[in-house]
Structure 1
């Protein structure tokens, strides 16, 4: 990996961790930034000392980047990523894959037709705890998975949505809590337990109804391809951002994630896997592993085949979330399409 040019499209909040990761890469340099908001664009140009562009097409034409990081509002993910892939530019896109299933499918097809790679930022798969859980379950030494459960008890207030109004809308965000916060945990459930083959759930607005048009609370029960069942509950009405919980019950052990991972074996043994601690200018609830995902993606650019968290992989959690919306809002087809 030598002399690669990176660009960041969308200079809002989460772009912070992408800029940090690019700065730490060997053989890659930030070459340009892009944002439709003049103030954010000017701030990024001043902070990073690179050219700035008000739209992504002009950036692609002028700079010819090797990798583009897409950190825009959700409803721009698929269109910007498809334009990049169509020009053979590699893409790292923040979650979710897209704000609608139609756009997600469009991006899946664009990725198949491109010579470039795409990664979706489900960075929590790189957590030390997630990697340990996956390794233990993959060996088969714990026996079959019986079931799982997960919770996301977080807090968001009206100011969070007022500061970025797209977040609280179907058009801008494609949904609320499930698309913007809890989709990471949905992804971990399906990655660790198995693909979701059916789901029954509900999404509702219990706390922020005077501020947003999307949901702030949701629950579901899912059946996975191996027959295991998982139960899930998430809300933004909690007083604080509590640690995400994820419990997986296998025949010979129970894996319990509460920040660190505790593995309790049927024979009485207990192992603890601590999570890494990383200093970052990003928010704590973004996790500790953006840098690992981004570095891994760049290191694999010379390999054949897709990146392991590609568009098709990103579509899985999107499909589950949109099915919950379909069940919760049967008269609003545009919210699930």
Structure 2
């Protein structure tokens, strides 16, 4: 039996609590939050000890695993505190709010005996797994290029409810860090490591509400010679399905919820995405639970978890590279 604690009892913690409740081999033993109302609500809901101070909780409870669901600027410091105490970690994306803080987590993971996973749960989607298998099999030939879009909608109220989301200091960015980074991660994971990126981020719809971007685009050059194009915005009228198209020599893979594979010989194959209750908002996807279960199943393995800080650092670097090109006058932005 493993013991678990959750640090940060805001919105996204609901999927972690939901996943833990379904696992027979894990016991939730504590929660932690600096907001008294959220802390009391979570402690009462799950009948566990509640702590306002994370170090006090870590010393008192010594859980096997800590789930980090805090605002972005706290990810790194909480993760390092846990890893340096030999406590394993599941941390929400992004890895950290700056590259410097992300590197701290990478280094802490390298020196720790504990394990750490970063929640890029969309890699567990049935469609993403199918794309990975098809590309790895080699039967589709060389990857020529890809395109992706994230056409979503956010209001002023979304940011007013959690003001940290709209700031450089605490959010580390806007659209690209908080929404589109999942798709950036899939793009680089499926197509290949990104060696060069040229892009632009800007605020088109939420000026006066946020100081970060709500729209961005980029062109990426991959190590294998493929080129990707990417566009994302929060100015769409609704949360449209994420799109991801990968063109190879012998087929085109088109993700629109389900995956359609159109082969050069005219054959078309459809691979459906699984549909389950996510325990949270629909745009969080369906695979948090799968990632969390897999992490606990691999706690005894000597190898690092496959979605490691070093792996998550790749998408963080892409995003921060775009910020460096777009906001050269914002001090400390990419550090």
Alpha-carbon deviations, 1:234-265, whole Å to 9, x = none? Answer: 00000100000000000000000000000000
Alpha-carbon deviations, 1:135-194, whole Å to 9, x = none? Answer: 000011100000000000000000000000000000110000000000000000000000
Match of 2:154 in 1: 156
1:67 aligned onto 2:65? yes
Q: Please identify, of 21-30 and 243-252, the stretch whose mean Cα deviation from structure 2 is larger.
A: 21-30
Match of 1:314 in 2: 312
For structure 1, which runs of at least 5 residues remain unmatched after alignment?
none
Match of 1:137 in 2: 135
In structure 1, distance between residues paired with 2:325 and 2:32: 37
* Normalised TM-score (structure 1): 0.99
SS in 2 for 1:334: coil
- Within a 5 Å distance, the mapping from 1:164-175 to structure 2 comes to 164-175=162-173
Offset at residue 25 of structure 1 (A): 1.3
- Contact 1:74/1:96 (<8 A) preserved: yes
In structure 1, distance between residues paired with 2:127 and 2:51: 39
Match of 2:288 in 1: 290
Offset at residue 281 of structure 1 (A): 2.9
* Normalised TM-score (structure 2): 0.99
Equivalent position to 1:41, from 29, 39, 60:
39
Offset at residue 330 of structure 1 (A): 1.1
In structure 1, distance between residues paired with 2:78 and 2:19: 21
Offset at residue 334 of structure 1 (A): 1.2
In structure 2, distance between residues paired with 1:333 and 1:231: 28
- Within a 5 Å distance, the mapping from 1:206-221 to structure 2 comes to 206-221=204-219
Q: Please identify, of 25-34 and 235-244, the stretch whose mean Cα deviation from structure 2 is larger.
A: 25-34
Match of 1:97 in 2: 95
In structure 2, distance between residues paired with 1:15 and 1:55: 17
- Contact 1:326/1:333 (<8 A) preserved: no
Offset at residue 290 of structure 1 (A): 0.1
Offset at residue 210 of structure 1 (A): 1.3
Q: Please identify, of 69-78 and 54-63, the stretch whose mean Cα deviation from structure 2 is larger.
A: 54-63
Equivalent position to 1:113, from 98, 111, 114:
111
Equivalent position to 2:271, from 264, 270, 273:
273
In structure 2, distance between residues paired with 1:193 and 1:280: 27
Equivalent position to 1:20, from 18, 21, 24:
18
Offset at residue 332 of structure 1 (A): 1.8
